[in-house]
């Protein structure tokens, strides 16, 4: 006897959507050669919430077929690992979030004595038993009903991302897996889904967030432009005061599709390991939705917020990669089902 998939509503959350402000200027007016380089990207705008398997979410539960094995990490099989319990990480974040939100005098401690005692007790990595291979953690779930512009294999309407919450030596990123689904095929959802007993890197454990997808237009990072065009744009910046990289090119934050956010390195060729075809950006995971250099991308609904503490909307996922960079996932242009490529920028 199968259980029907719970009905969905669209959009997935009744909360306020997020709206990107208009760009400070239309960059294609002074530089029409950028017009054919425009791409649409889906800013996902994760915000703290209580997602269900029928929601588009980051860090929420996945809609998973009961008959399909939950993926595990072959590099982490127990019997124990050095790390922290996921519930301790979430508790630590709650304590700090509440502490930052309390009014206090300049000479008053951020934490109460009880809070400090609790953080001292749960804050250190320890040996934690793990029975069998480590289950991957759910990271992102995006329904095409919430993001119609999502690139996807024909016939599918759901993208899921999971990863191992430990660093992996090949790229110092979590080892990730993608799943493409047709939601109508999931007639017997798995509940509850497996969770690991231990997290190796706190910054790879997302806080549960609902997504508020929004499609915007962006242009290549200056690193990807022909040198002559990049030089002309730089001269134009000096004359006008506009900033192409931060305000007019690649949208910051967690997003789907669009252009790659090249930052500390120049672009380099990447190809599918299975067939050699070029790859294209599918997902960018970013711990900050905007920062001091990209403040013009701050959604209209968050206009009153200027800080970057743990209680703010710019960083509610609590994800971080390297020294505050992004994790990028690329997919093969010949087949969505070939192995993806990961990169940090």
Can you give the pLDDT at residue 304? Answer: 76
pLDDT score of 22 more than 70: yes
**Stronger pLDDT, 105 or 179, i.e. the higher one:** 179
pLDDT score of 280 more than 60: yes
Q: What gap in Å lies between CA 182 and CA 6, rounded to an integer?
A: 14
- What is the pairing mode between strands 47-48 and 134-135? unpaired
Looking at residues 254-283, what average pLDDT do you find?
Answer: 91
Residue located via tokens 């269900």: 52
How many helices (H) and strands (E) would you count in the chain? 3, 16
- Listed in sequence order, the residues at least 6 apart from 58 whose beta carbon sits closer than 8 Å to its beta carbon are 44, 46, 139, 140, 141, 206, 208, 209, 211, 254, 317
pLDDT score of 344 more than 70: yes
Candidates 162, 191, 160; CA nearest to 65 is 191
Alpha helices by DSSP H, 109-226: 113-122
pLDDT score of 286 more than 60: yes
180, two tokens: 């493409």
Can you give the pLDDT at residue 12? Answer: 42
Candidates 221, 261, 232, 240; CA nearest to 345 is 261
β-partners of residue 189 are 65
Can you give the pLDDT at residue 75? Answer: 93
User: Cα angle at 233 between 232 and 239, to 5 degrees?
Assistant: 95
Can you give the pLDDT at residue 1? Answer: 37
Averaged pLDDT of the chain: 91
Report percent pLDDT > 70 for the chain.
93
Looking at residues 66-85, what average pLDDT do you find?
Answer: 95
185: DSSP letter: G
pLDDT band at residue 295, thresholds of 50, 70 and 90? confident
Can you give the pLDDT at residue 345? Answer: 84
Q: What Cα–Cα distance (Å) separates residue 2 from each residue in 54, 62, 186, 191?
A: 17, 18, 10, 13
Query: Residues 191, 156, 54, 198: is their CA dihedral positive or negative?
Result: positive
Residue 181, phi then psi, degrees to nearest 5: -135, 160
**Stronger pLDDT, 12 or 262, i.e. the higher one:** 262
What pTM was computed for the model?
0.92
């Amino acid at each position: 006897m199968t259980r029907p998939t719970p009905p969905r509503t669209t959009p997935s959350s009744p909360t306020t959507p997020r709206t990107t402000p208009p760009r400070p200027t239309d960059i294609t007016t002074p530089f029409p050669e950028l017009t054919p380089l425009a791409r649409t990207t889906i800013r996902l705008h994760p915000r703290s919430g209580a997602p269900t398997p029928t929601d588009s979410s980051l860090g929420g539960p996945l809609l998973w077929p009961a008959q399909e094995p939950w993926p595990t990490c072959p590099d982490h099989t127990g019997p124990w690992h050095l790390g922290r319990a996921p519930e301790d990480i979430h508790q630590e974040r709650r304590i700090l979030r509440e502490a930052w939100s309390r009014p206090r005098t300049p000479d008053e401690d951020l934490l109460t004595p009880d809070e400090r005692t609790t953080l001292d007790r749960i804050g250190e990595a320890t040996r934690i038993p793990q029975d069998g291979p480590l289950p991957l953690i759910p990271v992102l779930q995006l329904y095409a009903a919430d993001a119609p512009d999502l690139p996807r294999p024909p016939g599918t309407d759901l993208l899921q991302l999971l990863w191992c919450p430990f660093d992996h030596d090949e790229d110092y990123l979590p080892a990730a897996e993608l799943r493409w689904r047709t939601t109508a095929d999931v007639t017997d959802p798995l509940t509850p889904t497996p969770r690991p007993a231990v997290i190796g890197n706190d910054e790879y454990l997302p806080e549960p967030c609902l997504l508020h997808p929004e499609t915007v237009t962006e242009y290549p990072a200056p690193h990807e432009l022909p040198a002559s065009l990049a030089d002309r744009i730089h001269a134009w910046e000096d004359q006008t005061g506009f900033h192409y990289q931060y305000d007019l090119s690649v949208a910051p934050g967690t997003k789907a599709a669009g252009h790659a956010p090249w930052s500390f390195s120049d672009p380099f060729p990447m190809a599918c390991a299975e067939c050699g075809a070029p790859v294209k950006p599918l997902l960018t995971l970013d711990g900050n939705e905007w920062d001091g250099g990209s403040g013009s991308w701050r959604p209209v609904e968050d206009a009153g917020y200027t800080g970057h503490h743990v209680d703010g909307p710019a960083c509610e996922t609590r994800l971080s990669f390297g020294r505050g960079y992004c994790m990028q996932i690329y997919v093969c242009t010949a087949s969505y089902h070939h192995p993806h490529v990961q990169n940090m920028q």
